[in-house]
Amino acid sequence: MMSNQLSLILLPTNKCNVACEYCFEEKTADFMTHDQLALTVEKLLDHMEHQHIPELIIYWQGGEVMIMQPEWFERAHELISAAASRRGKKIGHSLQSNMIGYSAKWNGVIREMFGNSVGTSMDFPNLYRKARGHTADDYTRIWARNIKLAREAGISVGVISIPNRETLRLGGEAFYSYFVDELGITDFQVNTSFSGGEINDAKTESILDMPALARFFVELADVWFERGYSAGVKLGPIDELLHHFMGRVARLPCIWQQNCADDFVSIDARGHVAQCDCWVTSYPEYRFGNVFGAQSFSQLMKESKARRRFVSRPEAMIEHETCAGCDYLSICHGGCPVRAYSITGEFLVKDPYCEVYKALFSRMETIAAKLSRARFARSLPVLPIRGDVVNRGTSL
């Protein structure tokens, strides 16, 4: 049996302190109050009891979470912990911030509530992340400074990065070197872009040539395996794919879950509920309902027609797409709905990054096979043949 856990992507504010050109969110000035948070948590705990779910992980995002004050989070942590304890449930927390508003005053709450870990985002090179009235270089400089400060304070920093046209031109080696050698980051993840929300030039050009992107991912996988694998550098989803193809437990990203509707839900600062942060502010027609006004969260989820579309999406991939015949169905399941919808305008079609994923899967499968063969050979007995000792080992 698989584990049973609910993941909530919670936006305590829809407001942001920067203006990244390719952002998929429709920003508003809304903030969630502690009363609204307490109400939300109680309804979620009711839902967990109803669904026999023992554990909830809250992924705190925005907007930008560091627009709120650390004191707000300290109080939030207290009231969530007390509510979870009353119900015998476990609630964990994860923080995603652009780190532009970071200062030492956040260290306490990051340590106490978020296990001294924070996730952030940066591209190489940075083309679209900008503060209002400032350049991308300004943004990068502030971000790099704050990351350095956070790491000096003992905070573990993970980075999500989205390749752009310049990334492809510079190649995997330069990309890897920037994060690992220049910034000292040893835990990062590469995502693919999608043109969510209101369309603009940056969003349009952020959708890259798929074959070129596939080549980039394959090259990056090779660079990581050559330089990072043995050194313990985590590069998602590449490292997790290697685990998967070696038959180990792997934590693959949400885009490749059997059905993301079974695991994730998002709530924004106005109480709107949707599949994830990619949908909740930008696509009102795909919202499941509003948690503040709903009688119960379970009922909201059960009765939502929009949610039913998400739940049934993998079935459509099997019925209408070529996914049933794909050897990678077991790790992809048709991919990400928001990438499909935002890029093609269709919901019940497979993820347009299909060919990119398959190229990466194939490369990681090959690397895993080589690695497994080498390990297998090393573990074999040395067999004497014709008086000689033959080493059956295979080197990579």
Partner 1 sequence: MTQEQLRTYNVPLAFVDLYPDRPLIVRATDPVALVQSLTPQHVRQLVSLQLLDISADLEELEGWNPGLPIEVVLADPEAETMKLYRLCRLQRSHPVRVVVPIVPGFSKAVRVASFLQLPVKLEGAQPDPDLIEELCEALDFFLHNKAVSQPIEYFSGVLTTVIHKQPVTLWEIQEEHPSTVRYVDDYGVQTLARRPFIRTNENLDSFQFELTKRVLCDESECSSCEFFLNCGGYFKWPDPDYSCVGVKRVFQRMRDAALELHDDLSLYPTAHTESAT
Question: Is residue 86 near partner 1 by the rule CB under 8 A?
Answer: no
Compare residues 135 and 366 and give the one whose CB is closer to partner 1.
366
Measured at the CA of 256, the angle between CA 250 and CA 259, to 5 degrees, comes to 110
What CA–CA distances, in Å, run from 17 to 27, 29, 31, 73, 114? 10, 11, 13, 18, 21
**Is 203 or 333 the residue whose CB approaches partner 1 more closely?**
333
Nearer to partner 1 (CB atom), residue 29 or residue 383: 383
- Give the DSSP H/E element, type plus range, for residue 165: helix 165-176
Cβ proximity to partner 1, 351 vs 365, nearer residue: 365
Q: Which of residues 356-395 bind partner 1 (CB under 8 A)?
A: 365, 379-381
Stretch of residues binding partner 1 (CB under 8 A), selected from 66-74, 165-173, 267-275, 320-328: 320-328
Among 116, 117, 186, 258, binds partner 1 (CB under 8 A): 258
331, 354, 356, 359: which one binds partner 1 (CB under 8 A):
331
For partner 1, the closer CB: 145 or 248: 248
352 near 339, Cβ under 8 Å? yes
Q: Which stretch binds partner 1 (CB under 8 A): 27-35, 48-56, 156-164, 203-211?
A: 48-56
| Other CB atoms within 10 A of residue 251 CB | 10
Nearer to partner 1, 36 or 298 (CB): 298
Judge contact between 257 and 276, C-beta under 8 A.
Answer: no
The burial class, CB within 10 Å (0-12 / 13-18 / 19+), for 27 is middle
CA 306 – CA 272 distance, rounded (Å): 13
Per-residue string for binding with partner 1, 273-312, x by CB under 8 A?
A: -----------------------------x----------
Q: Are 21 and 164 in contact (CB under 8 A)?
A: no
Q: Hey, how many other C-beta atoms are within 10 angstroms of the C-beta on 157?
A: 21
Task: Considering only the stretches 65-73, 103-111, 287-295, 313-321, report the one whose residues sit in contact with partner 1 under the rule CB under 8 A.
Answer: 313-321
DSSP letters spanning 110-159: HHHHHTTEEEEE--SS-SS---TTS-HHHHHHHHHHHHHHHHHTT-EEEE
Q: 3-class SS at 391?
A: coil
Q: Output 12 or 314, the one with its CB closest to partner 1.
A: 314
Selected from 204, 330, 344, 391, the binder of partner 1 by CB under 8 A is: 330
E strand or H helix at 316, and its extent? helix 305-320
Between 170 and 329, CB nearer to partner 1: 329
For residue 3, state whether it binds partner 1 (rule: CB under 8 A).
Answer: yes
CB of 262 to partner 1, least distance (A): 5
Tokens for 149, please give them.
Answer: 């400060």
57 binds partner 1 (CB under 8 A): no
Nearest to 177 by CA among 103, 124, 127, 231: 124
- The only residue of 19, 160, 252, 318 in contact with partner 1, by rule CB under 8 A: 318
> Cα 181 to chain center, whole Å?
23
Binding letters toward partner 1, positions 224-253, x by CB under 8 A? ---------------------x-xxx----
Q: Shortest Cβ distance from residue 287 to partner 1 (Å)?
A: 21
- Provide the angle, in degrees to the nearest 10, between the axes of the packed helices 210-223 and 238-245: 70
Tell me which residue of 15, 9, 71, 42 sits closest to 266, measured CA to CA.
9
- Segment near partner 1 (CB under 8 A); pick from 35-43, 136-144, 222-230, 317-325: 317-325
CB of 319 to partner 1, least distance (A): 5
Rounded to a whole number of angstroms, the minimum distance from the CB of residue 321 to partner 1 is 10
Q: Which residues bind partner 1 (CB under 8 A)?
A: 1-4, 50-52, 245, 247-249, 258-259, 262, 302, 314-316, 318-319, 324, 327-331, 333, 365, 379-381
